[in-house]
Amino acid sequence: MSQAEHAEVDFDSAQDLPALHALLEHVQMKNGWAKPTPSLYPQPKQTFVPAHWRYRDARAALHAAGRLVGTEWAERRNLIMANPIPGNDYATVRTLVGAYQMIKGYESARSHRHTPNAMRVVLEGAPNMYTIVDGVKIPMLAGDILLTPNGCYHGHLSESDQEGYWIDFLDAPLVQHLNPMFFEVHPDELEKSHRVDAHSPMRFAYADYRPRLLESAEIASGVRSLELGPPSLVTFDRVVLHLFAGTQWQCVRTTANRIFTVVEGKGVTRVAGREFHWAAGDMFAVPGWNEYRIEASDDALLLRVSDEPLLRMLDWYRVDGTAW
C-alpha cells in the first residue's frame, strides 16, 4: 500500500464558504460555483487582436540580421509576427504563427523535420533558390506557395548570389497547446539532393495559380477566390483572393483565425476600429470573431491562411448569427 498523500480533510468542520474553499486546497480542487472567470461564456472572447506587419520593416530588419545572424548557428533567420497582446511572444493568432525568413546568396538553412505543419509564400525568390523537401529540390520563385507537412524534412538553399525572402506559416502554436511536439535536425545538415521537381505536389507555382484564380468565379462583387490543394494540411488551408481595384469586400465574423499576406497590390483593411494600409509583402492578422472590410486601391492578390478546416472538422466553425 502506498502512503496516503495527505491527511483526511474534515470538510464537515467548515462553517462558511471561505472555510470550505480553503480546505479544497488540501485536495487540489477548486470550486466551480464561485470561479472568478467563468469557464464557459456566450460567445468567443477576443483575446488575440487584429494586427498588421509591414514587409518594408521586416525586410530591412532581416537584411541587417544577415550581417549579424549566421545560419550555421541559428536554426532559421526569421522574424516572428507575435500578436501584440500581453504575455505572448510567439503566436500570430491562437493556432498559427507567421514569420518572415531570409537566406543570403550561396547560403543554406539546414534540414530538419518537426510535427508542426509548415507552408511558405515566397516574396523574393530566384531560379536557383530551393526548398529541399524529403530530398527533392523545389524551386522558390516569387509568389510560389510551398508545403512542408508534418514530418517532412526540409531545408532551404540559394545557389546564386540572390537573397531570398519569404513568409513561413506554421501550426506550431496549436502543437504547443496540444503538446505532440517533436523536432530533429537532419544528420547531413543540409539534406543532399540531386533532383529538381518544379511540379512537386508541395509547390503551388504562382505562374500556375494566378491565371486559374483570375478565371475562377466571383464570390462577391470584384472578389475571386481559389483554394489551393490538394494536398491539404489538416490544420490550416490556403485560399488566394483577387480583388479588382476599387473593390470593397465586407466579411462577416467567423470562428476561424486568419492571417493574410499581400502578394500584390495595395489597399486597406478596416477591423475593430483600426485601419491597416497594406502593400505587397505585408501581413495582417484577423483573429476569430472579428468582422472586417478589405478595400483594394490597386488590383490586389491576397493569400489567406486560416484554421477553418480544423474548426470545421471539430464542428466548431461558426459564422455570425448561426451559432446553433
Closest distance to ligand GTQ from the beta carbon of 160 (Å): 19
Please report how many Cα atoms fall inside a 13 Å half-sphere around the Cα of residue 67, on the Cβ side. Answer: 4
Comparing CB distances to ligand GTQ, the nearer of 118 and 251 is 118
Helix (H) / strand (E) element for 206: namely helix 206-215
Among 51, 81, 99, 239, binds ligand GTQ (CB under 6 A): 99
Task: Count the residues of the shown chain that bind ligand GTQ, applying the rule CB under 6 A.
Answer: 8
Q: Which of 52, 104, 137, 154 is close enough to bind ligand GTQ by CB under 6 A?
A: 154
Which helix (H) or strand (E) segment holds residue 29: the answer is none
30 CA to centre of own chain: 35
Q: What is the separation of C-alpha 205 from the centre of its chain, rounded to a whole number of angstroms? A: 20
Shortest distance, position 211 Cβ to ligand GTQ, whole Å: 28
Cβ proximity to ligand GTQ: between 154 and 318 the closer is 154
Closer to ligand GTQ at the Cβ: 117 or 290?
Answer: 117
Query: In the window 207-236, what residues touch ligand GTQ (CB under 6 A)?
Result: none
User: Is residue 71 a contact residue for ligand GTQ (CB under 6 A)?
Assistant: no
Q: CB-based contacts of 168: which residues, under 8 Å, 6+ apart? A: 76, 78, 97, 98, 99, 100, 101, 118, 119, 120
C-alpha cell at 18: 471561505
Instruction: Name residue, grid cell 509591414.
Output: 54
Candidates 107, 144, 163, 168; binder of ligand GTQ (CB under 6 A) is: 168
Q: What Rg value do the Cα atoms of the chain yield, rounded? A: 23
Least distance to ligand GTQ from the beta carbon of 101, Å?
5
Q: How far is the CB of 267 from ligand GTQ (least distance, A)?
A: 26
Q: To the nearest whole angstrom, how small is the minimum distance from the Cβ of residue 237 to ligand GTQ?
A: 19
Rule CB under 6 A: choose which of 170, 241, 263, 300 binds ligand GTQ: 170
What mask, x for binding ligand GTQ by CB under 6 A, covers residues 77 to 96?
Answer: -x------------------
Q: Between 96 and 170, whose beta carbon lies closer to ligand GTQ?
A: 170
Residue indicated by cell numbers 497590390: 265
Nearest partner of 48 among 24, 81, 76, 74, judged by Cα: 81
DSSP designation for 221: T
Q: Which residue number, 71 or 254, has a Cβ lying nearer to ligand GTQ?
A: 71
Residue among 175 and 311 whose Cβ is closer to ligand GTQ = 175
Member of 21, 23, 44, 76 binding ligand GTQ (CB under 6 A): 76
Question: Peptide bond before 201: cis, by omega within 30 degrees of 0?
Answer: no
Neighbours of 175 (CB within 10 A): 20
The answer to whether residue 101 forms part of the interface with ligand GTQ (CB under 6 A) is yes
Residue 210: φ, ψ to 5°: -65, -50
**Calpha distance 37→39 (Å, rounded):** 6
Query: Which residues of this chain interact with ligand GTQ, rule CB under 6 A?
Result: 76, 78, 99, 101, 118, 154, 168, 170
